[in-house]
Amino acid sequence: MTDRRLEFIQIAEKYKPKMQIETVRPLNGVPTKALKDGDSVIFDFGNHYVGHVKLCLSSVGSHQDAPAFIKVKFCEAERELNEDSSNYQGWISKGWIQEEWIHADVLPTVLELPRRYAFRYVKVEVLAVSGKYSLVIDSVEADTITSAQENGLATCEGLTDMEKRIDEVAIRTLRNCMQDVFEDGPKRDRRLWIGDLRLQALANYATFGQNDLVKRCLYLFAGTADENDRVRSCLFTEPEIEGDDTYMFDYSLFFIDTLLSYYKETKDIETVLDLYDTATRQLEIAKEYFDEKHVMKDSDVLGWCFLDWNLGLNKQAGAQAVYIYSEKAMIELAHIVLEHGSENVSIQDIESMKTDVANKICAAREHLFDETKCLFVSGENKQVSYAANAWAVLAGIWDDEKNAEILAALEKETNAEMMVTPYMHHHYVEALLSCGEKEKAYKHMTSYWGGMIENGADTFYELYNPENPFESPYGSSIVNSYCHAWSCTPTYLMRMCGLTEGNLS
Ligand code: RAM
């Protein structure tokens, strides 16, 4: 395949979004009281924002005879206000924790903090002033930033109050992740991941309709593919565009489905023709993961395939299902490209993909399905999980009727590995929808995302396990993100899949 990576990056750069800046101030104003050692103030901005914060500080009393030493902490969710980072022992960098220790040698001063934060609350703690003066906070404000254009937001009529709230919070989540690219989370990891992009793009089609941002991200992934043309799991845009050196089986494959949904929404055939070879390549690379019986080879390498952040999850059956799902999408793309007269694909190519997908389906039925349980099982220990079974349903390994039976059996299974991310819950809801279980899908959506709302969410979280509020795959919930792209999908489910109370029956 010709190396067009540089050209793809150049195209992506043409679609850089225009940023929208708005200055906001805390709802509760500034304290009237001057502050001494040990005092602290919490500023509540009333909603979740992403941006740069400015504090104007001065002093009262005698001349400032020692630096003012303060700690400033930024929290997306209220619970973070009470979390103590000093004993953080998680396995991802504590550099993500949003707090600063600052000396102000000379007052008055204007502190313009250089980092971009994701927050609703800003807590200022006075660590030290002196006996002779006190600290005054004259003003606090933030220049907030997003590339989402609120005036382009499509309206949605006929929602119940709860649905409206879920929709608003989902849109807020998407909006605040819309930056120079679709970020996964503005607190962490602040970069473009393809699994997140795939879902953000769907929510964007239902709301802001900023399709050029999806196009930019697709070109970025194609432009940062490696020498083998494999799409990486995520990429950075600063200081310059660079792909990360991590790969995940499912994430590389999702390039295909993301391109297909982009085409369905925009009919932008030029982009599809440009990126078609990159899509084909992901399938070819994924083929190498199968044994001679067309069964996915299992692996215990952490993160070889993602599916969900449940660390106990075996990925074999889920990976097989994602492959089938993606190959079906590839066949659709191939037809589109063929209809447009492209020479990159032939009828024979399509036929051979059809044979391959049939082989993978037969193998899944024969080797990964437990007839007695009516469930897919994964790995040496025949693990049953929501992830594997939801993906098997989405892949259409069996027909709708049997798929509904599988999901019913899953509900009854007491030993199933559960889901921990809204990302996986989204796929479960889609699986229910795909086999006609609309009511169950609706109940699941409203109880899971509604649960976060009841928890006070202004934006939806990266991880939410109603059974365990401290769930974190990182060794500590301090680094969890509370505005996370992959949780914004209820707006898509309600607006585009008709998953609302009014549409049940
Ligand atoms: C998390 C990221 C991102 C996700 C990956 C797999 O670390 O925040 O959302 O796509 O995991």
**Closest to 191 in 3D by CA, of 233, 241, 161, 235:** 235
**DSSP alpha helix (H) spans, 311-346:** 316-339
Which segments within 422-471 are labelled E, that is strand? none
Give me the CATH code for the 20-146 domain, please. 2.60.120.260
Q: In the predicted model, is pLDDT for residue 342 greater than 90? A: no
Which segments within 454-500 are labelled E, that is strand? none
CA of 134 to the centre of ligand 1 (A): 44
CA of 184 to the centre of ligand 1 (A): 7
Do 135 and 105 meet the contact criterion of CB atoms below 8 Å apart? Answer: no
Q: Does domain 248-418 have CATH number 1.50.10.10?
A: yes
Q: In the predicted model, is pLDDT for residue 1 greater than 90? A: no
**Closest to 320 in 3D by CA, of 310, 305, 309:** 305
- The DSSP result for 87-155, as a single string, is G---SS-GGGS-EEEEEE-SSSEEEE--S-EEEEEEEEEEEE-BTTEEEEEEEEEEEEEES--GGGPPP
Q: What pLDDT, on the 0 to 100 scale, is given for residue 99? A: 97
Element (H, E) at 7: helix 5-14
Q: In the predicted model, is pLDDT for residue 344 greater than 90? A: no
Q: What pLDDT, on the 0 to 100 scale, is given for residue 365? A: 98
Q: What pLDDT, on the 0 to 100 scale, is given for residue 4? A: 97
Atom of ligand 1 nearest to the CA of 306: 6
Q: Is 219 in the pocket of ligand 1 (CB under 6 A)?
A: no
CA of 163 to the centre of ligand 1 (A): 26
Amino acid identity of residue 158, one-letter, is: G
Atom of ligand 1 nearest to the CA of 188: 8
**Closest to 497 in 3D by CA, of 440, 450, 451, 429:** 429
Q: Whole-number mean pLDDT of the chain? A: 97
Q: Is 482 in the pocket of ligand 1 (CB under 6 A)?
A: no
Where does CATH 2.60.120.260 sit in the chain? 20-146
The residue contributing the CA closest to ligand 1 atom 6 is 306
Where does CATH 1.50.10.10 sit in the chain? 248-418
Cβ-based burial of 294 (10 A; exposed 0-12, middle 13-18, buried ≥19)? buried
Q: Is 193 in the pocket of ligand 1 (CB under 6 A)?
A: yes
Q: What pLDDT, on the 0 to 100 scale, is given for residue 253? A: 98
Q: What is the pLDDT of residues 11-27, one digit of tens each?
A: 999 999 999 999 999 99
Q: What is the pLDDT of residues 258-283, one digit of tens each?
A: 999 999 999 999 999 999 999 999 99
Q: In the predicted model, is pLDDT for residue 470 greater than 90? A: no
Residues 6+ apart with CB under 8 A from 300: none
Q: Is 471 in the pocket of ligand 1 (CB under 6 A)?
A: no
Q: What is the pLDDT of residues 125-176, one digit of tens each?
A: 999 999 999 999 999 999 999 999 999 898 899 999 999 999 999 999 999 9
- Higher model confidence: residue 75 or residue 155? 75
Q: What pLDDT, on the 0 to 100 scale, is given for residue 160? A: 97
Q: What pLDDT, on the 0 to 100 scale, is given for residue 483? A: 98
Mapping DSSP onto H, E and C, the string for 172-195 reads HHHHHHECCCECCCCCCCCCEEHH
Q: What pLDDT, on the 0 to 100 scale, is given for residue 226? A: 98
- Higher model confidence: residue 1 or residue 220? 220
Tell me if the bond preceding 189 is cis, omega within 30° of 0: yes
For residue 332, name the pLDDT band (cuts at 50, 70, 90). very high
Give φ, ψ of 124 to 5 degrees: -110, 125
- Cα-based distances in Å from 382 to 5, 296, 408, 415, 430: 41, 14, 19, 11, 24
Q: What pLDDT, on the 0 to 100 scale, is given for residue 152? A: 87
Q: What pLDDT, on the 0 to 100 scale, is given for residue 88? A: 94
Q: What pLDDT, on the 0 to 100 scale, is given for residue 242? A: 98
Residues 6+ apart with CB under 8 A from 386: 410, 416, 417, 418, 419, 424, 428
Q: Is 189 in the pocket of ligand 1 (CB under 6 A)?
A: yes
The residue contributing the CA closest to ligand 1 atom 7 is 189
* Residue 375 φ/ψ region, left for φ over 0, alpha for ψ in the -120 to 50 degree band, beta for the rest: beta
Do 199 and 306 meet the contact criterion of CB atoms below 8 Å apart? Answer: no
Q: What pLDDT, on the 0 to 100 scale, is given for residue 347? A: 95
**Closest to 174 in 3D by CA, of 426, 439, 443:** 426
Atom of ligand 1 nearest to the CA of 193: 10
For residue 469, name the pLDDT band (cuts at 50, 70, 90). confident
- Residues 83-99: what's their mean pLDDT? 95
Rounded distance between C-alpha atoms, residue 127 and residue 497, angstroms? 52
**Closest to 165 in 3D by CA, of 465, 504, 500:** 500
Q: What pLDDT, on the 0 to 100 scale, is given for residue 30? A: 87
CA of 200 to the centre of ligand 1 (A): 13
* Residue 251 φ/ψ region, left for φ over 0, alpha for ψ in the -120 to 50 degree band, beta for the rest: alpha
Q: What pLDDT, on the 0 to 100 scale, is given for residue 402? A: 98
Q: Is 306 in the pocket of ligand 1 (CB under 6 A)?
A: yes
Rounded distance between C-alpha atoms, residue 178 and residue 200, angstroms? 9
Q: Which two tokens stand for residue 63?
A: 């001349």
Residues 6+ apart with CB under 8 A from 354: 331
Q: Is 195 in the pocket of ligand 1 (CB under 6 A)?
A: yes
Q: Is 184 in the pocket of ligand 1 (CB under 6 A)?
A: yes
Percent of the chain residues topping a pLDDT of 70? 100
In this structure, what DSSP letter does residue 469 have? Answer: T
Q: What is the pLDDT of residues 369-422, one digit of tens each?
A: 999 999 999 999 999 999 999 999 999 999 999 999 999 999 999 999 999 999
